[in-house]
Structure 1
Amino acid sequence: MAPVKPGFRPSMTWLHDWSGLVIGWLLLAIALAGTLAVFRPEIGSWARPEVARAAVDPVESTQAAIGWLSAHAAKSPAWYLQPANDRSSTTQALWLDGNDYVTRALDPRTGSPAGIRDTLGGEFFYRFHFELQLPYPWGRILSASAAMLMVLAIITGIVAHRRFFADFFTFRPGKGQRSWLDAHNLLGVAALPFHLLISFTGALTLANLLMPWGAIAGYRGDEAALRRDLYPAEVTRAATGRPAPLVPIGPLLRRAEQRIGGHIGLISVIDPGDASAVISVTSADDDRLQIAHHVISFDGTTGRILAEQVERRPVLSVFNAFYGLHTARFAGALSRWLYFISGWMLTGLIATGLILWTAKRRERRRGRGFALVERLNVGFVGGTPAAFAAFFLANRLLPVAMAGRQMAEVHAVFWTWGAVLLFGAIRRPERAWTELLTLSAAACAAIPLVDIACGTARADGPGLGVGLTALLLAAGLGHAARRGWRPKLRAMRRERAAVA
């Protein structure tokens, strides 16, 4: 590691370079997964072509799902449901089977998962974005740490770059290191407010995992008291062991909709089939920036209201506003596409930063450290699009009725990822760049082609969105592969001579 030069700006440059490098590969995957998660419901609908997209009544779809769960998950201590809506074609159900949680998509008309391929859909990218497919809480801690370092890298980058905004209007292709710096600067400035906002709110939403001491000190370790204050409408009752049927769910949900004044976003049924059952209904605040949950808890056997609350406490309202900004659930179609495009720019910003790190040091490369960074750059930057494309391809190519299909799709991502990282480690970087970018371009282009070949292609919103995005990404990656991403040594020498 090079020593820090004296002075404030050189110190910021050193901090920017190394903070970005240490967490850059992880940030690249987090940013790309988060970008795809903007369209989580739409990807879920695309991933389940067996369910036709049509207008559905959330109450009727929930009623059908409760009927199926009553017959097939009666022994589960809790059911959690997200009703189908205008963005999601299925009802999402989660329940406990033994010691394992099961998540399935249910047909909104029949309430059954029969005939629907078992897939996480967009939920995979959403969960990977902040959990990294790791056990709780380690994945979330890593994601929160990465977000904090991203904020640090952005701020130090602004300070370190003297002509930050002036160079926004400058791009010089084919100039080696200078071109990478221009591209890095352009991607940084064009969506700078988004980059700062998404990084800061990402760190804030998981800050309790990094800094839990305030809550621990304030409540002296009493987690039950903390939960009661955070969720005052939550009702917990011990199971009695006396069986009792649930109240008819349809009229109860209609009553909840009237009190909420809008649609329902989440239904939980605790201890279904027991005399102490509790049904909690939470409002869908998808059209609001500040998530102000309206929660009503009902007695599961009588329908009597046990508790009701609308969250208006100032501190939690501010937190919910930041959370809403990060998840973009409030956003309409145009705003979601702006989030999506800005997310791609953030991913490109991270990728160009990683490449620029090696471009600046190529002439004086020494030792194994540089070689390790260079080869990891090839695998992560060149191969991660192929790994994520493998999820979409596996969704279409794996047998619909395959046992363990849901995790097989996830395994396809990580097997592909491992293969491209290994390839980048053993192949000469100048060749591996072109070959892995070509592979990623081919994998993305294959998504709509395989969709058509499998007879599952649909000309609806999710189908067109996934297909066109995949083709555009394939075209960009293919262009990069054709031009070659490896900075030319002669161009770098000319650049250094011109600067000197």
Structure 2
Amino acid sequence: MKAGKAKAQGEEGLRQSMSWLHTWAGLIFGWVLFAMFLTGTLAFFRPEITSWMQPEIQARPTPAVQAVDLAQRYLNEHAPDAKRWFITPPSNREPLIQMLYQVAKPKPGERGFVRVKLDPVSGQAVTGRETRGGDFFYRFHFELETAFPWGRWLASIAGMFMLVAIISGIITHKKIFTDFFTFRPKKGGQRAWMDGHNVLSVLGLPFHLMITFSGLVLFMIMLMPAGIQAVYENPRQYTDEVFKSFKITPPLNQPAPLVQIAPLVAQAQDHWQGRVGRVTVNNPGDAGATVTLVRDAADGVSYGRLAPYMRFDGVTGAFQEGEDDLSATVQTAGVITGLHLGLFAEPLLRWFYFLVSLAGTGMVGTGLVLWIAKRRQKARPGDVREAFSLRLVDGLNAGTIAGVVFGVAAFFLANRLLPAEMPGRQVWEVRAFFSAWGLSLVYAFLFQRRKWQDLLAIAAASLALVPVVNAFTTSRHLGVSLPAGDWVMAGFDLTCLASAALFGWMARKAARARKAPAKASAKARAERPAAKTVSPQVAQAPAAQAASSHVVYEPRGDTP
């Protein structure tokens, strides 16, 4: 029995240690993680967001062979002396032909890359309003809009803390799966937030583990470079050996016409029985030119950089090398990376990614609020340091959870309200995002009592305004997009309305939570005169018994 008791005490001690680790690992980077999770969730629909933010561009995809032929004609005319061409054929999600080329003599301090989009029917360059579109959320998710490499390091450190928080949370909650089926929102306070946190955590637990671990694997080269440095003298050697499709072949400095790429694309697609996802041409117009074709990432889980490829001589069109059967190591790395990016996901699975990732965002948010709920119950009256830490964390919670959502809506509204021809408008869209977030943080600290109620209401109103403003500024509003089956535009507007409804409900709950303490205090004051009619001897015993049995907790603030 002693051994069993000692074992139980040891397990309980481990859980207590893990609970402390879980709490602080989640709190320290919690606000950064919330922003990373939300922007990463939106990035699953990166092409669709970009399409919504450039409503003047409408196109339908064409076969890859035809698209590559149009792209080669354009590049032969406009970039014959470029070092490299990158051509991405159109797809259902990105109907335009995407091109990128590197000029031979860039300006000082520039890499010299030029990006162009072509209409897949006419072959003419398409220019829409300047915007970063869905790429902003994609880049912010892992760079935090910070200079290279510091943003990636910060995001990676936050990811490490997230992984620690998830694993320690699993160890801490011995009834985690039982608690998943126990949700008591009417309880209020700490119990309701704990139930919500458990449900959101367990709902997508395998996904949360996968997405966090795979995110760290994406930056493995940056985080753990010692092995590469020990084997390779030049990091470029490692890149050429692992990412063979990106290998840069040297020029021979002898002019020679480039082979027609379209027949090579047809040959590769027949060989793979799948689509070509990217075409890379090294040294076009040179005798040392090569044409590399990579299989489309949507044809499999593995990411494009670690996907099957074929390389051809750029002058004769002769096959040089390729790889269909990837090694187990490469396949594993490619699948882990591909699972994180979700490029292979068809619409139904993509929405599943979106919803489970949204649950992960809620998991982080409820964890931050739960920290406040727990500390307020344990707070001692008159403890100045404790009161300051509670106000600080609660202000950061409200300013970030509601503020980032408000920032996303401001980003979309700026896209519609800024003049379409305004130079540098994509910069102002990003500034609108950070300005809304920053103002939310300021408001949260200036108006401590009303912050949750007001900021959640502002987030809801701004999201609801997005489809309204879209209706007044473009011809592709819900009245047109729904009957026409334009599901990119209609789906975007409907998602904004659904999100507005969710945050409106949260704002209402926050308003009720704010009024509850005042009602309780008023009720207590109303009952005091009646208490005088009771004799002291009769009242003393129950009062003493109540004081010894429990502590009455009066909620503070307006946390929903």
1:316 aligns with 2:316: no
Report the Cα offset of residue 496 of structure 1.
7.4
Query: Residue in 2 aligned with 1:435?
Result: 454
Displacement of 1:331: 1.8
Correspondence for 1:200 among 202, 207, 213: 213
**Sequence identity (%):** 39
Match in the other structure for 1:411: 431
1:263 maps to what in 2? 275
Q: Show the counterpart of 1:448.
A: 467
In 2, the alpha carbon distance for the partners of 1:112 and 1:55 equals 14
SS in 2 for 1:7: helix
Match of 2:499 in 1: 473
Asked whether 1:301 is paired with 2:307, we answer no
Taking a change above 3 Å as real, the CA distance of residues 114 and 52 of structure 1, as seen in their structure-2 partners, is closer
Paired position in structure 1 for 2:363:
349
Question: 1:316-368: per-residue Cα shift (whole Å, max 9, x none)?
Answer: 11111111221222222211111111011000010011111122223526434
Kept after mapping to 2: 8 A contact 1:268/1:280: yes
1:18: how far off?
A: 0.5
C-alpha distance in structure 1 between counterparts of 2:118 and 2:517, whole Å = 59
Secondary structure of the corresponding residue to residue 289 of structure 1: coil
**Which region of structure 1 is more displaced relative to structure 2, 102-111 or 474-483?**
102-111
Q: Is residue 38 of structure 1 aligned with residue 38 of structure 2?
A: no
After TM superposition, list the pairs within 5 Å mapping 1:93-492 onto structure 2.
93-96=99-102, 98=106, 99-100=110-111, 101-174=113-186, 175-219=188-232, 221-291=233-303, 293-362=307-376, 364=379, 366-367=384-385, 368-425=388-445, 427-454=446-473, 455-457=475-477, 458-459=481-482, 460-484=486-510
Contact 1:51 1:89 (8 Å CA) reproduced: no
Q: Which sections of structure 2, spanning at least 5 residues, go unmatched? A: 1-11, 522-545, 554-560
| Matched-pair contact (CA < 8 Å) for 1:45–1:89 | no
Q: 1:51: Cα distance to partner?
A: 2.8
Secondary structure at the aligned position of 1:430 is classed as coil
Structure 2: which amino acid aligns with 1:411?
R
Q: Distance in 2 between matches of 1:255 and 1:204?
A: 34
Query: How many pairs are equivalent?
Result: 492
Q: Are 1:82 and 2:88 counterparts?
A: yes
Q: SS in structure 2 opposite 1:302? A: coil
Q: Say which SS state the counterpart of residue 286 (structure 1) adopts.
A: helix
Task: Check conservation: 2:245, 2:294, Cα contact below 8 A.
Answer: no
3-state DSSP of counterpart to 1:451: helix
Alignment partner of 1:401: what SS?
coil
Deviates more, 1:474-483 or 1:49-58: 49-58
Question: Secondary structure in 2 aligned to 1:484?
Answer: helix
Please say if residues 148 and 203 of structure 1, whose CA atoms lie closer than 8 Å, have aligned partners that are also in contact.
yes
Label 1:355 to 1:111 Cα distance change in 2 as closer, same or farther (>3 A): farther
- In structure 2, do the counterparts of structure 1 residues 431 and 498 end up closer, same or farther at CA, with 3 Å as the change threshold? closer
User: Greater relative contact order: 1 or 2 (C-alpha under 8 angstroms, separation 6 or more)?
Assistant: 1
Radius of gyration: which is bigger? 2
CA drift of 1:373 comes to: 1.8
Alpha-carbon offset, residue 242 of structure 1: 4.4
Change (3 A) 1:490 1:420: closer
Partner of 1:3: none
1:12 aligns with 2:18: yes
The offset of 1:224, in angstroms, is: 3.1
After superposition, the C-alpha distances for 1:361-420 in whole angstroms (9 at most, x for unaligned) are 235264343332221111110110111122222222233333223333333322322222
Q: Distance in 1 between matches of 2:252 and 2:56?
A: 41
The DSSP-based 3-state class of the residue aligned with 1:185 is: helix
SS of residue paired to 2:326: coil
Aligned counterpart, 2:29? 23
CA contact (8 A) 2:403 2:441 kept: yes
Q: Shift of residue 188 of structure 1?
A: 0.9
8 Å CA contact 2:61, 2:96 repeated in 1 = no
Going from structure 1 to structure 2, the CA distance change for 1:480 and 1:227 (only over 3 Å counts) comes to same
Shift in alpha-carbon separation, 1:490–1:229, aligned structure 2, 3 A: same
- Is the CA contact 1:287–1:329 (under 8 Å) kept in the aligned structure 2? no
Structure 1 CA distance for aligned equivalents of residues 214 and 280 of structure 2: 27
Letter in 1 for 2:261: I
Root-mean-square deviation (CA, aligned residues, Å) is 2.8
Contact 1:359 1:487 (C-alpha < 8 Å) held by counterparts: no
Q: How far is the alpha carbon of 1:38 from its aligned partner? A: 1.4
Q: Which has the higher helix share?
A: 2
When residues 238 and 324 of structure 1 are mapped into structure 2, their CA distance, relative to the original with a 3 A threshold, is: closer
